[in-house]
Structure 1
Amino acid sequence: MWFLWLLSWFSILLQILFVTLSIAAALYYLAELIEEYTVITEKILRVMLMVSCGIYIGLWIFEGFPFTIIVLGLFTNVVEFGLLRTFPFIEMSSPNFILTVVLVVVNHYFAFQFFSDVFYSFAEIMAFFTLCLWVIPFTFFISLSAGDNVLPSTVQPLLSESSDHDVLSHYMTKGKKKRSVLLTFAEGCKNMVIPSRAKRY
């Protein structure tokens, strides 16, 4: 009896380890894809924001969600549309980014307050949180690394302090850009779990 109980705990820990590694690998792969295809990512984010606006309107019309949650959600989407203007370059100190983070927290507060008063099934609550509150901010979070390795066709004055707007000379004088913290951390974890093989000559 006790032996099988110990085995069950060991198997649960093993499953948690596999799920964690799978999520880490998926995040790393998604970050690489977003870095490679920034234009497509921007279009996907634009479509996701429009779909999210449609979902909010549907929740207001068909489900009778509070007007406060609907207005806050739509306003958050408008602010996130502003982040797409400079995509893939997202400044973490910009007012748009800071306001987005604040609005995500405020949206969660009002959502928790609403679902604690009104009964919905767990699947319905998870559908709201996933589609309305998590998917878009999560995609922007992964996209933070996308601007690090993208060479613009011209150096934008806002992103460059010097008056030199020649892309090649600007890139050569500044040197190779560093990789983002997210990808560096993910790559370090990958190297710890799966060490790279030495090259054979």
Structure 2
Amino acid sequence: MWFLYLLSWIALSIQILVVTLSIAAGLYYLAELVEEYTVFTSKVIGYLIIFTTAVYVCLLLFEELPFTVILCGLLGNGAYYLLLNDFPYFALTSPGFIGSVVSVTVNHYLAFSHFTSEWYPFHEVLAYFTVCLWMVPFAFFVSLSANENVLPTMAERPNMTGDETDVVSNYFSRKGKKYGLLAMLKTAQESVLPQRVKKHF
């Protein structure tokens, strides 16, 4: 009796490990795709914002969610849409970025407040959080590393004078450490997975 119980915990640990590795591999693949197809990614995120806005309108018409929850969700979608103007670049001081961070925080607070005060089945709560609160921010999170390999333009550095007018060499000379999702996953891959040794014949 005790051996099967112990075996179930070992199996659960293996399943958690496999699921974690699968999620990491999926994120790595998505980050690679986003870096390769930034224009297409921008369109996909735009369609996700439109879809989420339509979901909020349907929730307003067919469900009894508080109006403040829906209004803050729609304002958050407006902030997400502002982020698409400069995609794949994210300026931390831009109104779109600040509005997005504030809206994510406020929307989560309002959603937790509502769903803890009224009972809903778990799958409905999870559906709301997944579609309305997590889908678009997760798409932006995955695309954070997309601007690391985008070619430089004159619009990036409008204050260049003298020797700095060479956009490409100036871009590569000032390019610092990468902090995106893909860089984080590559660092984890190098530190966790063994390196292949090439044989020299």
Q: Do both proteins adopt the same fold according to a TM-score greater than 0.5, normalized to the shorter chain?
A: yes
SS of structure 1 residue aligned to 2:28:
helix
2:198 is the counterpart of 1:199: yes
How far off its partner does 1:113 sit? 1.1
What are the within-5 Å matches in structure 2 for residues 1-201 of structure 1?
Answer: 1-152=1-152, 154-157=153-156, 159-163=157-161, 169-175=166-172, 177=175, 178-201=177-200
Any conservation in 2 of the 1:145–1:183 contact (CA below 8 Å)?
Answer: yes
How far off its partner does 1:160 sit? 4.7
Q: 1:42 is matched by which residue type in structure 2?
A: S
The number of equivalent residue pairs is 198
For 2:180 and 2:70, the matched residues in 1 are separated by 34
How far off its partner does 1:17 sit? 0.8
How far off its partner does 1:198 sit? 2.1
Write out per-residue CA displacement over residues 28-85 of structure 1, whole angstroms, 9 at most, x where no aligned residue: 1111111110000000011110111100000010112211011100000001110000
For 1:64 and 1:121, the matched residues in 2 are separated by 15
For 1:36 and 1:170, the matched residues in 2 are separated by 22
Identical aligned pairs, as a percentage? Answer: 46
Structure 1 unaligned blocks of 5 or more: none
**TM superposition score normalised by structure 2:** 0.90
Write out per-residue CA displacement over residues 149-180 of structure 1, whole angstroms, 9 at most, x where no aligned residue: 1014x3205x454247x98x321233264433
SS of structure 2 residue aligned to 1:145:
helix
SS of structure 2 residue aligned to 1:11:
helix
Q: 1:172 is matched by which residue type in structure 2?
A: S
For 1:92 and 1:23, the matched residues in 2 are separated by 27
Structure 2 unaligned blocks of 5 or more: none
**TM superposition score normalised by structure 1:** 0.90
